[in-house]
A and B are shown apart, each in its own frame.
Chain A
């Protein structure tokens, strides 16, 4: 399986820059996820790799072959689209085989590959139906089958699950992951859903405004986000951010905000003490809620509960600490009631400090 390389790739539509100096190497057999909000340029990057969008500047290589100027059909990549892109007037079988017929693949070989894909995706009973007669999940499978039968060098997925309901989405996510591991085809997968990214990706690329924010394994992005954007984007529910300042007192560093004081652990501090405004980042799962407040203690903040969401296993406790609305994710049986004064203990080992939106905590 080949590797994919983006070298200084930019894309402009008129005066608007959509992707700026994008550099990335996708390893052989890797499942790489591009994730970002709308307008982040993730789909444009995928479409440039597919050949559906021209590259304004830079180069795209698949292994050593420069594909920048090649037509989509000459790149040997296959793509699964968000709305599947199945031909409505053709049967499933015709949809699967069309790409091969156009490439003049022998009839017996087409038959073999269609049977293989249909078998793998449980599509045999559906082969003679039209897309309209299939459910969303089945259409999704046909779209994947169409990519598979091509036996391409690279698979591209453009938000393939966003048209499915939640249950089906989780199931198809598992199927796609399993399929990719079995076929070991180099894959670039675009999504706006960070849960999809975290669960599927060997590595994740977080994009904002056409620029890479961070590239890394899912757990690295979660534990050591390089900036506030990544910290806020990765993880559900999102990280809490509190604006404040660092002061040095009693020989240690202390984070001070309106209604909140918090001793920073030495390992979570940068080597030079930040003098201006800083942001403290705490994930909801790195807080413990004590339903009874016995006054502020070290490493804890006092809060007042404004909302409790019971999700079954875990619950989300929304509380106000001074002017800051925060969210703690707890697994306690004992939950506070709305309006209760609570004591929230912050896991100092997991606190992140940001200066100018860049993470400055030294350890992860």
Chain B
């Protein structure tokens, strides 16, 4: 009876897993299919080909866009981790005038939808003359309230005696943050890193607004322009360019997966 129930359970889970993974696998395989096969639901191409990728690469500067995207997403991720953790540390563990106000302000930022700030931010970027620069893509994202609050929440759980010990050992606050808090906060740092990286990587709207030069375009932006503008010509080529967009995120996730799941499971600092 128990075995039977277990078999039922795993069958159910397998079907659920399949419904998630099938579209992705289909997309991956479709990129290797010639035009005549793309319409089928089969997972394996009968005549595998790299033509879709070759066409895509030839028609638009995807290599350059990949580098742009990597540059923008990496810079933003590092900045969010470094600046965010510094802010979070101060908010969680230092006593200073205006701390409650800073907490409230950070929380307040969360309540304002991004769409609302889009136009003022755009105007600001125009005024600063940053249109068609990396600065426009990167600088508005250097700080992230969600990330700060997530890190702050985690930092609050780290025992005070560790900070005290470190101060007695002769560390300054920045050194405490980076040599004591960072190693103990891997779960939250990974989750912030993944979310920030993915968020920046997948961002289309903002780059569309502030970048018009093709050589500065990020990957999803170029992809959008390319596909919507009819540059792709076929669904296979469109899917191939989407693949280029997805693969780096999958790789990043694979690397940080262990910490990511740990963090989702809500682990804290032990010992």
Which residues from chain A sit less than 8 Å from chain B, CB to CB?
47, 50-52, 71-73, 77-79, 81-89, 98-99, 102-103, 130-132, 146
Contacts and interface: CB of A to CB of B under 8 A. Distances in A.
B161 A82 contact: yes
B170 interface: yes
Nearest to B161: A85
A167 to B, nearest CB: 22
Given A81-B161, A82-B161, A73 B170 contact: yes
Contacts of B161: 81-85
Contacts of B86: none
A47 B159 CA distance: 16
B108 to A, nearest CB: 25
23 contacts: A50-B164, A51-B168, A52-B164, A52-B167, A52-B168, A71-B167, A72-B167, A72-B168, A72-B170, A73-B168, A73-B171, A78-B168, A81-B164, A83-B161, A85-B162, A85-B165, A86-B165, A89-B184, A99-B169, A99-B170, A102-B170, A102-B171, A103-B170
Contacts of B184: 88-89
A132 B170 contact: no
B6 interface: no
Interface in B114-140: none
Nearest to B182: A89
A71 B166 CA distance: 12
A79 B71 CA distance: 46
Given A82-B161, A131-B271, A132-B270, A87 B167 contact: no
User: SS class of chain B's interface: helix, strand, loop or mixed?
Assistant: helix
B168 A50 contact: yes
A358 B4 CA distance: 78
B269 interface: yes
Given A87-B162, A131-B271, 10 more contacts: A51-B167, A72-B170, A77-B168, A79-B168, A81-B161, A83-B161, A85-B159, A85-B161, A102-B169, A146-B165
Given A83-B161, A89-B184, A73 B269 contact: no
Contacts of B180: 87
Nearest to B180: A87
A73 B271 contact: no
A99 B168 contact: yes
B230 interface: no
A88 B270 contact: yes
Interface in B166-190: 166-171, 180, 183-184
B158 to A, nearest CB: 10
A103 B180 CA distance: 17
A89 B183 contact: yes
Contacts of A88: 184, 269-271
Contacts of B167: 51-52, 71-73
Contacts of B162: 85, 87
Interface in B235-271: 269-271
Contacts of A98: 169
Contacts of B269: 88
A83 B168 CA distance: 15
A50 B166 CA distance: 12
A103 B183 CA distance: 22
Contacts of B159: 83, 85
Contacts of B170: 72-73, 99, 102-103
Contacts of B164: 47, 50, 52, 72, 79, 81, 85
A85 B265 CA distance: 25
A103 B168 CA distance: 11
Contacts of B270: 88, 132
A106 to B, nearest CB: 16
Nearest to A53: B164
A20 B159 CA distance: 28
